[in-house]
Structure 1
Amino acid sequence: MVKLAPLRTELLEQVIQLSVAEQQLPYVGTIDEVLINADEHTHPHIVLKHDQVIGIFLIDMLYSQSYEFAESGSLGFRAFLIDQHQQGQGYGGKVMGQLRGYLAQHYPNHHSIYLTVNCKNTNAYQCYVKNGFHDTNECYLGGAAGPQHIMLMKLHA
């Protein structure tokens, strides 16, 4: 069973052990780079499988202040990764399937969430579309690894 939860201090050591496949580094970065972006406005959340941390993502509460395409009152979904040794087992889809309800519960004052996904990352794109995100048909061109699809999901649909 896969469960989402805010990162708790006692699980930080497990988070630090997460590994990223080399081909995914341009899209996600290292776990250290993910964690350095966490602060009072960018919250780290973890993916648990039987109380073992297998992934992490960030929720950016100030996303709309950093990206013109994002509506005021929206969140940003950033730095999503599943440990490279856990990939290929459908966990990404399970996380995405729970995300709307999880965020609506934890961030009830926000109406939607945005993410950008590299145009070359077709597997992630399909996973997001299959689980409630829709492509805005715009591209974000400021990504370090090239153009990115801008995707949106309403939280209270």
Structure 2
Amino acid sequence: METRLALYETLSLAQKQQLDTLQVHPEQLAYSGDIYCALNSLLVNPHPDAIKGFALLADETPVAFLLLKRPPCLPHWADAHSATLHALQVDRHQQGRGFGKCCLQALPAAALQAWPQIKGLELSVDADNGAAMRLYLGAGWVDSGEAYKGRIGYERRLRWVFNRAP
């Protein structure tokens, strides 16, 4: 199976319609939201260069979605020279097949293509979301060691730093 991370704006109409059917498990909604909230924040944002949507395509069919944000859309905890990851969602019928990992593996190159000036990626994850913590840490993200009170519970900040030759 061939996978690739594609900018939302490059998807065909059929792929966008397929993406509209993406659903996460009900217990994941508190962490990732649903596809309607994610697409709404992408499509009605007054700063189109500050937020990008990406779909993971498996054999050209959308199986996952995520958002990346830059200033002025960065959350308060993020470094101004980074992009932040939000709303990572893998369709519930496709979970357990490695698509979350595929998203994270393709993300650094996609982020640098969108914003070559960024120095890293950041995300915030609920400390009680064990599956997400394992996914991010297993993919090489580094826990900052900081926790703060989020909307659900305590959240951890994780970072991916780009290794660029001088």
What RMSD, in angstroms, separates the aligned Cα atoms of the two structures?
Answer: 1.7
Unaligned runs of 5+ in 1: none
2:103 is the alignment partner of 1:95: yes
**1:113 maps to what in 2?**
121
Unaligned runs of 5+ in 2: none
- Of 34, 42, 45, the residue aligned with 1:30 is 34
Where 1:18 maps in the other structure, the secondary structure is: coil
Q: How does 1:59-78 map to 2 (within 5 A)?
A: 59-62=68-71, 65-67=74-76, 69-78=77-86
Matched pairs, number: 155
* Cα contact 1:44–1:59 (8 A) shared by 2: yes
Q: Which moved more, 1:58-67 or 1:77-86?
A: 58-67
Distance 1:25 1:65, change over 3 A: closer
* Cα contact 2:83–2:111 (8 A) shared by 1: no
Query: Residue 53 of structure 1: CA displacement?
Result: 0.4
- Of 131, 146, 160, the residue aligned with 1:153 is 160
Which runs of 4 or more aligned residues in structure 1 lie more than 4 Å from their structure 2 counterparts after TM superposition?
none
Percent of aligned pairs with the same amino acid = 24
**1:128 maps to what in 2?**
136
Query: Deviation digits for residues 5-55 of structure 1, max 9, x if unmatched?
Result: 101352321111101110101101121111111131221111100000011
Give, as a single letter, the amino acid of the residue that structure 2 aligns with 1:4: L
For 1:50 and 1:80, how far apart are their aligned partners in 2?
19
